[in-house]
Amino acid sequence: MSDANANHVENRPANLAANHPSDLAARAAALDTADELGKLRDRFTLPDGVVYLDGNSLGALPTGVAARIAQVITHEWGTELIQSWSSGTWWTAPERIGDKLSPLIGAAPGQTVVGDSTSVNLFKALVGAARLARPGRTRMLVDASTFPTDGYIAESAARMTGLTVVPVDPSGAAAAMDEDTAVVLLNHVDYRGGRLHDLPALTAAARAAGAVTVWDLCHSAGALPVGLDEHGVDLAVGCTYKYLNGGPGSPAYLYIAARHQGAFDSPLPGWNGHAEPFAMTPDYTPAAGAVRGRVGTPDILSMLALEAALDAWDGVSVEAVRAKSLALTDFFLECVAAYVPAGKVESVTPAEHEQRGSQVSLRTEDARAVMDDLISRGVIGDFRAPDVLRFGFTPLYVGFADAERAARTLGHIFG
Ligand SMILES: *Cc1c(COP(=O)(O)O)cnc(C)c1O
């Protein structure tokens, strides 16, 4: 995060008609009334009196999950026992749920499997990408601003495949791609500052350079259109416990573009990814399709919780979610400018819509103490070291009144 990314939140006099506090509250109410997605909040169970702006870390609980998991435990596990593996919904859950979330990432069916953590899927994707890469290429470009686990895994994957990691800022990634670039790992949205990177252009640049792309969608899937198929992405991973509301530690996903599936050589060829898992043969023959991205026995409870959680997306268009997300973050920034005294916070989230994810990150002194204070007042965001207050806007269950209250509460803390 460089200073070039910082925009001072512009302070306007509080008596300016457009930003008078009572006007902002009234505008929030009007925006919520007009909001088509507002009624989707009923699809979630949220505690009363809380403004929840941390759905980019742990999504809220969708209403159907508890009953579904109770049924899985008491009936499928408790009564049906082992038969649930074959007769029920268990064995094929990774690919079935992969297909269920595919529309949210712009993927046709058959290219996405759910399972393991994002970290593990990054390992599969990066080693798999290195094995797909053109022979003789030596470099793996890695987003230097990335969530740490991506960098750790990339370093090991590169070492195992004989590549050298080259850290790049995503803004300079296209210029760094050349005939020596084997693999490019980028984040769609930066987890700390909320910057949205240009997936179509960066993917096109990688293709032109003959490199294999791996995109990390942890902070974009479920918040904005991704378009994996449309833009020709090779491989992608992402979590499901953030904007997809799958629950704590819910399994991640791996996307393998159809054109690469025949050649995708997983570094973790577990028996679940075998063409005939129950033949129990000593030799490994990978399954066709994205199923070869599976490893071992899936964590059924978390996986079926995720499946039920995805019902919250029934009939929802990602484009509508994106439009509301931008309106929410715009409105929040406007309220912060009106309520927070000048000079106390600065936004590190880009003002330009095309560079903004679905969060607002405000840099301030004593950020940890400020966030603790906000949480004690019922506004839940999070703190990212060293000095960032992070507010995630999840359009399925956050409204404009929430944004207004969060900014007003922040203003009280500095007031
Ligand atoms: C949240 C997040 C992860 C989390 O990885 P886990 O293996 O699920 O712990 C990884 N990468 C990015 C970019 C993230 O935002």
Q: At residue 18, does pLDDT exceed 70?
A: no
Q: What is the pLDDT, as a whole number, of residue 14?
A: 44
Contacts of 69 (CB under 8 A, 6+ apart): 301, 304, 305, 308
Q: What is the pLDDT of residues 335-371, one digit of tens each?
A: 999 999 999 999 999 999 999 999 999 999 999 999 9
Q: What is the pLDDT of residues 154-198, one digit of tens each?
A: 999 999 999 999 999 999 999 999 999 999 999 999 999 999 999
List residues forming the annotated binding site for pyridoxal 5'-phosphate.
118-119, 147-150, 216, 219, 241, 271, 297
Q: What is the mean pLDDT of residues 291-315?
A: 98
Residue 175 CA to residue 206 CA, distance in Å, equals 10
Transcribe 136-193 into DSSP letters. T--EEEEETTS-HHHHHHHHHHHHHHT-EEEEE-HHHHHHH--TTEEEEEEESB-TTT
Confidence of residue 16 (pLDDT cuts 50, 70, 90): very low
Q: What is the mean pLDDT of residues 100-114?
A: 98
Q: Outline where DSSP puts E strands in 67-211.
A: 112-114, 139-143, 164-168, 181-187
Residue 142 structure tokens: 């890695």
Q: What is the pLDDT, as a whole number, of residue 7?
A: 52
Q: What is the pLDDT, as a whole number, of residue 20?
A: 73
Least confident of 8-22, 23-37, 356-370, 381-395: 8-22
Q: What is the mean pLDDT of residues 212-231?
A: 98
Q: In the predicted model, what is the mean pLDDT of the chain?
A: 95
For strand 346-347 and strand 7-8, is the pairing parallel, antiparallel, or unpaired? Answer: antiparallel
Catalytic residues: 147, 216, 241-242, 390
On whether the CB atoms of residues 400 and 328 are closer than 8 A, the answer is yes
Q: Nearest residue CA, atom 1 of ligand 1?
A: 218
Q: What is the mean pLDDT of residues 132-151?
A: 96
Q: What is the pLDDT, as a whole number, of residue 23?
A: 95
Domains of the chain: 3-63+317-414 (3.90.1150.10), 91-297 (3.40.640.10)
Q: At residue 17, does pLDDT exceed 60?
A: no
On whether the CB atoms of residues 327 and 344 are closer than 8 A, the answer is no
For 24, the enclosing helix (H) or strand (E) is: helix 21-34
CA–centroid distance, 177 to ligand 1, in Å, is 25
On whether the CB atoms of residues 222 and 115 are closer than 8 A, the answer is no
Q: What percent of the chain is predicted at pLDDT more than 90?
A: 93
Residue with tokens 């992405």: 233
State the pTM of this model.
0.95
Q: What is the pLDDT, as a whole number, of residue 385?
A: 92
Q: What is the pLDDT, as a whole number, of residue 109?
A: 98
Mutate to test the pocket of ligand 1, among 142, 185, 218 (most ligand atoms within 8 A of CB): 218
Q: What is the mean pLDDT of residues 84-91?
A: 90
- DSSP tag of 43: G
Q: Nearest residue CA, atom 11 of ligand 1?
A: 147
Q: What is the pLDDT, as a whole number, of residue 9?
A: 58
CA–centroid distance, 53 to ligand 1, in Å, is 18
Residue 80 CA to residue 63 CA, distance in Å, equals 25
CA–centroid distance, 191 to ligand 1, in Å, is 9
Closest-CA residue to 362 (of 373, 348, 350): 348
Residue 257 CA to residue 232 CA, distance in Å, equals 8
Mutate to test the pocket of ligand 1, among 54, 118, 253 (most ligand atoms within 8 A of CB): 118
For 44, the enclosing helix (H) or strand (E) is: strand 44-45
Read off φ and ψ for residue 252, nearest 5 degrees. -85, -175
Residue 197 CA to residue 118 CA, distance in Å, equals 19
Q: What is the pLDDT, as a whole number, of residue 21?
A: 74
Confidence of residue 415 (pLDDT cuts 50, 70, 90): confident
